[in-house]
A and B are shown apart, each in its own frame.
Chain A
């Protein structure tokens, strides 16, 4: 089956993806201020409301104030949502509604290049939103050391993971409504089980062991110590898990997108 072999072929790489990534950047630049405010406003409200509200009830959590605890959670949550929204709603508009991808692959750019560009763009937007919230946290006085800057690459890894997962859904989606499944069945449980709002070690042992398989949990294990000015434990392990999810999801997204468009 030559067709199957072509679908399953490893990703091809060419620097031609760059103008496609740049195209998305140029669109974003037109609405950058609104976009960044949107990135900041929601997590900031959650952080302040829950941080002060619940924080006044629970005191310290895992050796830090609750507002610091949830602040780190919000950074990772925002990186996850930013990439997911970009890969699903925005990429779907470009692929399906506006047929922008179709126009691009008539130029000397392969579909693999387009998917690569979209994936890296999703991750780029995660870095932008991570940076925005990080800045707010520092302004509020919760940035402890320069180690917090290392949360940016964590945001990149989260963006690569969930951007790729979102592109899988994008390749399968008949319409926008389809993405609700991913939010309800994957992202919401991910948020609740990964230690964004409360520590994972407060869950029953069996459930806590399940969380080991969630990429967001590994991102939080990296980000939280960094925000407090400590070097996280098991850095290579957490990074490897995130990279594994990102690579596996990206390959799946690529195969499914080829199947959808190259026929």
Chain B
């Protein structure tokens, strides 16, 4: 925890831990994973309750994908416990994966098959018989908006269609938990909105979702709870709204233009509760932005944008501005 070890959010974490076992779909407790000298995950704990959309946020290299791979039983953790859909992982990873759907970061649809065949073949990997699959596939195609592309080869699909098919494929076993690793990376805005609509539809049906992303607008739109992790540790975890209220001033004024830096040094630091410079832009955080806006209104050489604080501000505050490669 960043601010206070006995803060509200850790109390909520404990609250999640004492919830009825049935209510927790994924529990990660004290997870550790090291590669050589480098400890990628360092004592990570979180719990996802049924019906939640849990956003796992963190910069590149924070340990998100490693955590997911541990949860799926693809790699063994060096420490800690994982329980997914009631099964201990990695011990019963196979049994757990029977009831979990995965949308990977990179598309891995089978290019040798048509849209429909992809769903059929993938369903067989779960041991599902053909008649069950034939019954499910029309609904999945409908969900993905690909009913008219049923017998088309994968290579002719657009990026957005491929993602939607990948999402539909992850639902072929009617999973209790859906894990999505950066589901909209590389998609255009229209395609992203379609994926989000699909995920909202699943949430309204009561599905549980674990989502990693570094798009804060994605987390903001979908997640009922978010956990920010960095350097393999949990920094903060709560509902997006509570996290924002706790960590970030509610109003932001972004000031840019030729004179922005000079303005920030002379006036910005005085008028804002907190000010951060990033390149040519000054991010001014405040509870009451009116004095700052009044000051800016009559100045030449600066332009500004006033907006409410969002998860991106939180994320930057918690994980810093330096570039992660």
Min CB–CB distance A209 → chain B (angstroms): 45
- Range of interface residues on chain B? 20 to 34
- Assess whether B74 is in contact with A108, with CB atoms less than 8 Å apart: no
Please tell me which stretch of B3-11, B95-103, B140-148, B310-318 contacts chain A, meaning at least 4 of its Cβ atoms lie within 8 angstroms of it. Answer: B95-103
B111 CB contacts on chain A under 8 angstroms: 98
Residue of A nearest to B72 (CB): A106
B97 CB contacts on chain A under 8 angstroms: 106-108
Instruction: Identify A108's interface contact among B95, B107, B121, CB under 8 A.
Output: B95
Interface of A is mostly: helix
Most chain A CB atoms below 10 A, which of B74, B76, B102, B113: B74
- Assess whether B74 is in contact with A262, with CB atoms less than 8 Å apart: yes
Residue of A nearest to B121 (CB): A23
Which B residues, 89 to 145, have Cβ-Cβ distances below 8 Å to chain A?
94-95, 97-98, 102, 104, 106-113, 117, 121-122, 124-127
Instruction: Identify A262's interface contact among B75, B98, B107, CB under 8 A.
Output: B75
Given contacts A23-B110, A30-B112, A262-B74, is CB(A110)–CB(B104) below 8 Å? no
- Assess whether A102 is in contact with B108, with CB atoms less than 8 Å apart: yes
Min CB–CB distance A20 → chain B (angstroms): 7
A26 CB contacts on chain B under 8 angstroms: 113, 117, 121
Complex Cα distance A19/B94, Å? 15
Most chain A CB atoms below 10 A, which of B35, B108, B117, B126: B108
Min CB–CB distance A77 → chain B (angstroms): 27
Min CB–CB distance A255 → chain B (angstroms): 16
- Range of interface residues on chain A? 20 to 34
- Assess whether A104 is in contact with B125, with CB atoms less than 8 Å apart: yes
Most chain A CB atoms below 10 A, which of B72, B94, B113: B94
Residue of A nearest to B96 (CB): A108
Given contacts A106-B97, A263-B35, is CB(A20)–CB(B125) below 8 Å? yes
Given contacts A6-B76, A262-B74, A263-B35, is CB(A109)–CB(B125) below 8 Å? yes
**Partner-A contacts on B (CB < 8 A):** 35, 72, 74-76, 94-95, 97-98, 102, 104, 106-113, 117, 121-122, 124-127, 173
Closest 4 CB pairs of A and B: A107-B125, A99-B108, A103-B108, A106-B102
27 A–B contacts, CB within 8 A, in A order: A16-B94, A19-B125, A20-B125, A22-B124, A23-B124, A27-B112, A27-B113, A30-B112, A98-B108, A99-B106, A99-B107, A102-B104, A102-B108, A103-B104, A103-B108, A104-B125, A106-B72, A106-B74, A106-B97, A106-B102, A108-B94, A108-B95, A108-B97, A108-B98, A109-B94, A109-B125, A263-B35
